[in-house]
Amino acid sequence: MALACLADSVVILTDEVQLDAFMTNYAEDTKHHKPLFVLSGGSNVLLPAKLNAIVLRPQMRGIKVIAQTDAYIDIEVMAGENWHDLVVYTVTKGWYGLENLALIPGLTGAAPIQNIGAYGMQLEDCLQSVRAYHLPSRTWHDLSAVDCEFDYRDSMFKRQPNTWLISRVGFRLHTDATKVRASYGDVQIVAQDYAAQHGRSKPTPADVMHAIIEIRQQKLPDPKHLPNCGSFFQNPIIPQAQFTALQSYYPTIVGYPMPDAMTKVAAGWLIEQAGLKGGGIAPIVTHQQQALVLTNHAPYIATKQDVAAAQKYIADTIYEKFAIQLSREPVWVNTNGSIGYKEHVV
Ligand code: EPU
Question: Is the shortest distance between the CB of 266 and ligand 1 below 6 Å?
Answer: yes
Question: Is the shortest distance between the CB of 250 and ligand 1 below 6 Å?
Answer: no
pLDDT of residue 216: 97
**How far apart are the CA of 292 and the centre of ligand 1, in A?**
7
Answer whether residue 204 is part of any domain: no
Question: Is the shortest distance between the CB of 119 and ligand 1 below 6 Å?
Answer: yes
Ligand 1 atom nearest to CA at 291 = 8
Nearest CA to ligand 1 atom 41: 231
Last residue of a domain, one of 151, 174, 197: 174
Within 10 angstroms of residue 308's Cβ, the number of other Cβ atoms is 18
Using pLDDT thresholds of 50, 70 and 90, give the confidence band for residue 156: very high
Nearest CA to ligand 1 atom 15: 254
CATH code, domain carrying 144: 3.30.465.10
Answer whether residue 207 is part of any domain: no
Asked whether the beta carbons of 181 and 119 are under 8 A apart, the reply is yes
| pLDDT over threshold 90, residue 219 | yes
Answer whether residue 270 is part of any domain: yes
* Domain ranges, residue 90: 63-174
Asked whether the beta carbons of 69 and 57 are under 8 A apart, the reply is no
pLDDT of residue 345: 41
CATH code, domain carrying 274: 3.90.78.10
Asked whether the beta carbons of 127 and 170 are under 8 A apart, the reply is yes
Are 259 and 321 in the same domain? yes
Catalytic residue selected from 124, 153, 272, 327:
153
Give 108-154 pLDDT, tens digit per residue.
999 999 999 999 999 999 999 999 999 999 999 999 999 999 999 99
Q: How far apart are CA 346 and CA 341, in angstroms?
A: 10
pLDDT of residue 341: 59
Nearest CA to ligand 1 atom 29: 118
Q: How far apart are CA 227 and CA 219, in angstroms?
A: 14
Print burial letters for 283-303: b (CB count within 10 Å at least 16), e (below 16): bbbbbeebbbbbbbeebeebb
Give 237-289 pLDDT, tens digit per residue.
999 999 999 999 999 999 999 999 999 999 999 999 999 999 999 999 999 99
Are 248 and 165 in the same domain? no
pLDDT of residue 344: 42
Nearest CA to ligand 1 atom 43: 231
Using pLDDT thresholds of 50, 70 and 90, give the confidence band for residue 107: very high
- Mean pLDDT computed over every residue of the chain: 96
pLDDT of residue 190: 97
Give 33-90 pLDDT, tens digit per residue.
899 999 999 999 999 999 999 999 999 999 999 999 999 999 999 999 999 999 999 9
| pLDDT over threshold 90, residue 31 | no
Catalytic residue list contains 338:
no
Are 126 and 102 in the same domain? yes
Answer whether residue 181 is part of any domain: no
Catalytic residue list contains 153:
yes
Query: Percentage of the chain surpassing pLDDT 90?
Result: 95
Strand partners, 286: 294
Catalytic residue selected from 16, 81, 214, 329:
329
pLDDT of residue 33: 81
Are 79 and 95 in the same domain? yes
Catalytic residue list contains 231:
yes
| Across 202-211, 283-292, 331-340, least confident range | 331-340
**How far apart are the CA of 134 and the centre of ligand 1, in A?**
34
Question: Is the shortest distance between the CB of 290 and ligand 1 below 6 Å?
Answer: yes
Query: How many domains is the chain partitioned into structurally?
Result: 3
CATH code, domain carrying 36: 3.30.43
pLDDT of residue 346: 37
Are 93 and 141 in the same domain? yes
